[in-house]
Amino acid sequence: MEDRTNQITGAEIVIRCLQEENVKFLFGYPGGAVLNIYDAIFKQDKFKHVLVRHEQAAVHAADAFSRATGDVGVALVTSGPGATNAITGIATAYMDSIPLVVISGQVPTPAIGMDAFQEVDMVGVTRPCVKHNFLIKDIKDIATTMKKAFYIASTGRPGPVVVDIPKDITAQFAEFEYPKSVEMRSYNPILKGHSGQIKKALKLMLEAKRPMIYSGGGAVLGDCSDELVKLTRRLGFPITNTLMGLGGYPATDKQFVGMPGMHGTYEANMSMQNCDVLIAIGSRFDDRVIGNTEHFYNKDRTIIHIDIDPSSISKRVKVDVPIVGHVQSVLTEMNELLDGEFKALTENKPDAGALKAWWKQIEEWRSKDCLSYTQSDEVIKPQFVIEKLWEVTKGEAFVTSDVGQHQMWAAQYYKFDKPRRWLNSGGLGTMGVGLPYAMGAQLAFPDAQVACVTGEGSIQMNIQELSTCKQFHLPIKVILLNNRYLGMVRQWQQFFYGNRYSESYMDSLPDFVKLAESYGHVGMLIEKPSDVESALKHAFSPELKERFVFMNFLTDPKENVFPMVPNGKGLSEMILSEEL
């Protein structure tokens, strides 16, 4: 008989790997191909498993845990439908560069390729939407592969990594030794920016007459908020944060001109369009941010682009000074140079009056007050709910959102002063993320206020997670802006499809209060503007601090998101509310 004194099963090796990586939460759903792993989970107590009610929610919750903490999120799903249910969550994380390790079970090795029960080619299916993926073929490869997975997911431009493990390998025995580090010839992310390029960029910035800082999700993921604030305040430049970058620079600061893009502020978009030096930090010139690339082009504008991913530079817009490196490292070096070699130039700018004139122009654009809206005593305006949410939570809450009008209103009216407090799906635009995102954030920070801003369409896509919230006693507050429409679809149909509201009306909605109560939660129906503030205060009061509260706000069904840059148009071709 083989001596197994120092050997453990493949399933136990998987668990030991997660423990070595200091994983705190594993989000998952059991099934046949991963039962050996689940049995090993039962025998340990170093991390907590969170049982979701759908595999998509497992990956979303792991994603949110990562967004909120900066740690690698981890999910576990079974083979076949369990694995394919996870694809939307994986693609969502991939588009927003979120570090995840998703472990999927696979049919036994001899059955692979034989159309076995619950078999799907997970490596093939996920190839377009992962940073990397692995199929384990030998139990001796588990530890090294898991180490590689965490390393690849968290370094360079972060992203999801899938590890597919056949069931028979989880039942085999081997000795366990976790590598202290891994090296891969084909993967060596650049961390430090080129000093010559950094100095060239700084010189251009200090000589600029109309400078603009444009920071994105990479600035948040790169944990460079402190360095960004220091640089921006020192230079006195205007700054805009993208949808994914909100909170990277304080929204209440006077140098912040709002979010840019399709539903960005007038002052942010006009500043982006008319600056002479644009400093892009961890942003990718997304189509929803800069609109039409031909319209955005300006031969008199110099663009500096700082990004960890060389493939993102000059991908959509040709840049003049590329700097490949970790944004925190690059901004730290910039600040050090401003304290040293560039100090004299900083204090004696060639044309200090130009920046004052630029700010005067920006203030003129700002005076349009493009986010103003008409308040009502009869019907609840969704913008008003978000403004009151910000006041009641003192701007300190973790706010998750689904995708649609409510997402844009949350981005526009909740003033995020800190990074990693705003969790939403940017790149993929995934309806259904809001509630599982709130779960991940609440588990990461159990004492924090967590608000899920959602719509009646989005919330129903993962509403089964009300059960998970009940099981794990998660005191999330759901802010449902219920306009009885698929709001953003309706808005586009109004503007661009001749008011033909094809399948955008939700005429069979449940009683959300009773639905929440059926899961054991607190349900509230708010129909009058005069009740909005008191309802929010009650939901966030000490009395309901430990309870999940589902707030159904019946809002104006015809309210639209403004400003708006129509698809295919340029940033200065905005539709403002007063123009309709």
24 among known catalytic residues = no
Residue-wise DSSP of 6-31: TEEEHHHHHHHHHHHTT--EEEE---
With the CA atoms of 509, 511, 516 and 520 taken in that order, what torsion angle do they form, in degrees rounded to the nearest 10?
-140
SS3 for 315?
Answer: coil
Task: Give yes or no for a cis peptide into 563 (omega within 30° of 0).
Answer: yes
Q: Specify burial of residue 6 (Cβ count, 10 A radius: 0-12, 13-18, 19+).
A: exposed
Q: Which of 19, 48, 117, 192 is catalytic?
A: 117
The active-site residue out of 259, 262, 439, 488 is 488
Report which residue type is found at 32.
Answer: G
From the list 12, 21, 55, 387, the catalytic residue is: 55
- 373-377 long-range CB contacts below 8 Å, 24 or more apart? 373/559, 373/562, 373/577, 375/529, 376/529, 376/556, 377/529, 377/530
Exactly one of 20, 24, 47, 118 is catalytic; name it: 118
| Active site annotation includes 548 | no
Three-state DSSP state, 573: coil
| Tokens 């997970």 belong to residue | 122
* Nearest by Cα to 288 from 574, 496, 565: 565
| Residue 164: strand pairing partners | 104, 135
Those residues whose C-beta lies under 8 Å from the C-beta of residue 159, and which sit 6 or more positions away, are 93, 94, 97, 98, 99, 100, 130, 131, 132, 152, 153
Coil, helix or strand for 360? helix
In whole angstroms, give the CA distance from residue 265 to residue 562.
9
Structure tokens at 311: 């493939």
167 assigned to active site: yes
Q: 10 Å Cβ neighbour count for 390?
A: 22
Give the span between the Cα atoms of 269 and 571, in whole angstroms. Answer: 6
Q: Which of 384, 399, 415 is nearest to 532 (CA)?
A: 384
Torsion angles phi and psi, residue 106, rounded to 5: -135, 155
One-letter amino acid of 191: L
Q: From the candidates 131, 147, 148, 167, give the one annotated as an active-site residue.
A: 167
Let me know: does 479 contact 551? Beta carbons within 8 Å.
Answer: yes
Distances (CA, A) of 548 to 288, 372, 438, 468: 34, 32, 11, 11
- Token pair listed for 552: 């159904």
- For residue 472, indicate whether it is catalytic: no
Active site residue 118: yes
Quick one: how many helices (H) and strands (E) in the chain? 24, 19
Q: List, by residue number, the catalytic residues.
A: 55, 117-118, 167, 488
